[in-house]
Structure 1
Amino acid sequence: MEPFSEPRRPLRCLHYLPAVDEELGGVVRAVLDVVSALAEGGHEITLLTHDAKDCPESWSDATQGSTESASLPQVVPLGPLSGPLQRASASDLQIISEHVRASDVVHLHTPWTPSNLQLGKMATQLNKPYVLTLHGMLDDWCFARRKWKKAMYLRMGGTRLLEQAAVIHCTAQEEQRQSQKHAPAARWGVVPCLVDTSQYQSLPGEADARANFPQLSEPGYNLLFLSRIDVKKGVERLIDAAASLTADFPDLKVWIAGPGEPGYLEQLKQRAHRLGISGNIHFVGMVRDQLKLSLYQAADVFVLPTSQENFGLVSVEAMLCNTPVMTTFGVDIWKELEGGGAVITEINAGSVADSLRTLLKNASDETIDNNQQSSLLSRGQRGRQHVLEWLDPRSVVNQMLELYEQAIRFKSSGAS
């Protein structure tokens, strides 16, 4: 990613994320992209983490201060979180304190992380502004899960974490609308998720995916689900929809990529078996890097039938790979995705099946333009162009920097 922030004073920004493990979901990818972009823009970025598993190896050189690493984030490894509440140890708090003191602004991620209560309190005591990114975790659907525990957490410090933040960062207006009731007097800002679009400038093509998964090349449409495999993601809806669709598309193939608990994966496989479509459903596990992009490209439609999603980064990734997207109104950015040609549907298997049936039948029956270009290809190309314009990294970086400046001005004003 090339540096793209407009000239302004360099900021010293401290990010804290307990675990940098991409199997935990899209939050990790979002944090990696934003700290990378800010560092390449000339800002001094430090990332504190208790687990640096998926931090790029080159970032470790930044800790040594080498010339080559001047535009990389500095990763500071901490010891393991401890106790049932997973809090930072006294020795780690000493390290964290030194970095908070040296920063202009602190950036915390997710409201339900107990160690964030420690860092928020520390930043407040040291008179340092902190930004708190919610990552969709105060959305109505999320809050309704284990609601009594979350309500107790808010009473025991979570509300204070929200109210004392210099800015609460949401990635969509819809997220702010759902979340604001939990801290109506707090200061809020909306900046979309920063996506490193440079890796999508030259796509790898379909060959790698087809070599690893030969059945992609067999007759029939290929539907792709790629995400953490969790109940909220709606994989059951996709399997049920596929059972309905095979009457019209008997050669339909559904590819389910991502990590999941073995017991839950077995339940999904049994569901497909009971519906008589085991041969149509393919579980391929975690897919990374160029193979992931190739798999997006090889799919005819990317499907995310989720109950709730904040930014839905995988849908954005699919669109950047020229792949049409179908998802639900449970995604906070559904309006933005729809603007790029994504099909948005209600959160139930019947609606998922109906939307896919229409999409696939149109692709089978229609041709457009004089080049006989398929409607799916046209929709995919439209989506890619839309995302490249909407999530232009220069614009998003500058919006994030303005959010930081807003936080600093708030703290400098003496407000609390």
Structure 2
Amino acid sequence: MTGKPIHVLHVAPSFWPATAFGGPIHSTKAITDGIAANPDFFVEVITTDAADPNTTARLKLPENPLRMPAGYQVRYCRKLVGNSVSVELLWRLVGAVRRADVVHLTGPYNFPVIPALIACRLTGTPIVWSPRGGFQATAQWAAVPKRRLKEFFEKFCAKLGPDRMVLHVTAPVEAETSARNFPRARVELIPNAIEMPKDLPKRVWRSNGRLRLAFLSRIHPKKGLDLLISALASLPEHVTLDVYGDGDPAYLSILNEQISKTELTGRVAFHGHVEDEGKTAALTGCDLFVLPTHSENFGIVVAEALAHGTPVVVTKNAPWEMVENEGCGRWVEASSEALADAISELAAADLGQLGERGRAWVTRNFTVDGMVRKFARLYQDLALKADPKGTLKAMKTL
């Protein structure tokens, strides 16, 4: 490209290395890393120093702003209340939006949303909004907390949003919800992607005669772990469950009480949050990965499990129906009975073969490079339409 790079501002309530917030932290960083590597773009990130959704902890940073290896800077604003309320972020946001050609907002119901929408409306800056499944969960999950407040928030934001607003979704079911709730916004479907693990350890399937199930996610009522525990109670004793992730202590206490009442204490183990080598060990040290979720716009951990060669069982509240067609898992109703039936069925299958199919499918369809190219085209389209006088020179074909 000749002329100045397109300036993309990412606004997020939390950002890497705050991995306790789950999959969106990884996928957002994959976008910013990939776009920053393209000389046609300049990336800036403004976020908070929140470290964990379940505590008041703040990130411990060597410097602030922090320069990422990909070459862009991240400003971590001090949070005051909750996980994203920050006066510093509010103060810095207006100037950051003025500098940007395109704003990319992450997260559904959090403090930066309304200020970012207002700033973009006042400055005429186009915005991409990735709600990360939040709107879908409100519409889909019967037990979603604060439903009326969230629905009011969505209606308010739909009226408040600027004319050039794009809702980024990762699956068709999320697209339907977004189009219905935000009729003025353009909806763009770009699936999440993952870095494929290269050197996987040698697998030992059904070690010591056990069928080892794994759950790896944020431990929250939406994730349906209670359903999986109920399913486990109806399965033979050689079926065990390893749980990886952190959650609210009060909810963890409820789950532990359920485990105790169903006499599963020796068959369920909690390991806490894991990353990197710990995640690889978790996903290659099990026989089946199970995500019994009540609502998921994508469920990046499913792709991660498949990438590690592990067959999966996923509820129909996540958009993974293709695991059936690709022969690498089961897609079932969100009930303990359906989960138990699927686990029993796969217990007799060739798990190694299922795992190989899943890894090959993910390799073909969920690459980071492909995702980044789609975002680059989207940013380019928005920036050039916002610049009819041609201050931004036309970019080369991506």
Q: What TM-score, normalized to structure 2?
A: 0.85
Post-superposition CA distance 1:164-220 (Å, at most 9, x none): 4521110111210123211123211100113233xx12235569xx9xxxxx95431
Structure 1: runs of 5 or more not aligned = 1-5, 64-68, 211-215, 364-374
Corresponding residue for 1:149?
Answer: 149
Match for residue 295 of structure 2 among 302, 308, 311: 308
Deviation at 1:405, TM superposition (A): 2.3
Corresponding residue for 2:195?
Answer: 196
Which SS does the other structure have where 1:334 is aligned?
coil
Match for residue 105 of structure 1 among 75, 95, 102: 102
Deviation at 1:62, TM superposition (A): 6.0
Match for residue 252 of structure 2 among 265, 270, 283: 265
Q: What TM-score, normalized to structure 1?
A: 0.82
What is the aligned residue count?
A: 376
Corresponding residue for 1:222?
Answer: 212
Q: 1:8 to 1:58 in 2, by over 3 A?
A: farther
Deviation at 1:41, TM superposition (A): 3.0
1:353 aligns with 2:352: no
Match for residue 377 of structure 1 among 352, 359, 369: 352
**Further displaced range: 339-348 or 221-230:** 339-348
Q: 1:325 to 1:10 in 2, by over 3 A?
A: farther
Contact 1:309–1:330 (CA under 8 A) maintained in structure 2: yes
Post-superposition CA distance 1:58-79 (Å, at most 9, x none): 996864xxxxx67323111223
Distance in structure 1 (CA, Å) of the matches to 2:233 and 2:66: 51
Deviation at 1:385, TM superposition (A): 1.0
Matches within 5 A, 1:120-269: 120-139=117-136, 140-141=139-140, 145-155=145-155, 157-162=156-161, 164-197=163-196, 200-203=197-200, 217-246=207-236, 250-269=237-256
Corresponding residue for 1:16?
Answer: 11
Q: 1:327 to 1:161 in 2, by over 3 A?
A: farther
Corresponding residue for 1:393?
Answer: 368
Letter of the 1:236 partner, please give it.
D
Contact 1:163–1:185 (CA under 8 A) maintained in structure 2: no
Contact 2:163–2:184 (CA under 8 A) maintained in structure 1: no
Contact 1:257–1:284 (CA under 8 A) maintained in structure 2: yes
Q: 1:56 to 1:299 in 2, by over 3 A?
A: farther
Q: 1:266 to 1:11 in 2, by over 3 A?
A: same
Distance in structure 1 (CA, Å) of the matches to 2:65 and 2:79: 22
Q: 1:51 to 1:70 in 2, by over 3 A?
A: closer
How many percent identity over aligned positions?
27
Which SS does the other structure have where 1:138 is aligned?
helix
Which SS does the other structure have where 1:188 is aligned?
strand
Corresponding residue for 2:280?
Answer: 293
Structure 2: runs of 5 or more not aligned = 53-58, 390-398
Contact 2:27–2:192 (CA under 8 A) maintained in structure 1: yes
Deviation at 1:19, TM superposition (A): 1.9
Which SS does the other structure have where 1:111 is aligned?
coil
Deviation at 1:8, TM superposition (A): 12
Corresponding residue for 2:393?
Answer: none
Distance in structure 2 (CA, Å) of the matches to 1:36 and 1:384: 24
**Further displaced range: 291-300 or 404-413:** 404-413
Corresponding residue for 1:46?
Answer: 44
Contact 1:256–1:283 (CA under 8 A) maintained in structure 2: yes
Of Structure 1 and Structure 2, which has the larger fraction of its residues in helix? 1
Post-superposition CA distance 1:134-154 (Å, at most 9, x none): 211111225954221113323
Q: 1:278 to 1:188 in 2, by over 3 A?
A: same
Deviation at 1:412, TM superposition (A): 4.1
Q: 1:196 to 1:41 in 2, by over 3 A?
A: farther
Contact 1:296–1:321 (CA under 8 A) maintained in structure 2: yes
Post-superposition CA distance 1:113-156 (Å, at most 9, x none): 2321101111221221110012111112259542211133234x
Which SS does the other structure have where 2:183 is aligned?
coil
Letter of the 2:320 partner, please give it.
W
Distance in structure 2 (CA, Å) of the matches to 1:295 and 1:205: 13
Post-superposition CA distance 1:269-290 (Å, at most 9, x none): 2212211221111111112211
Q: CA RMSD for the aligned pairs?
A: 3.0
Q: 1:281 to 1:70 in 2, by over 3 A?
A: closer
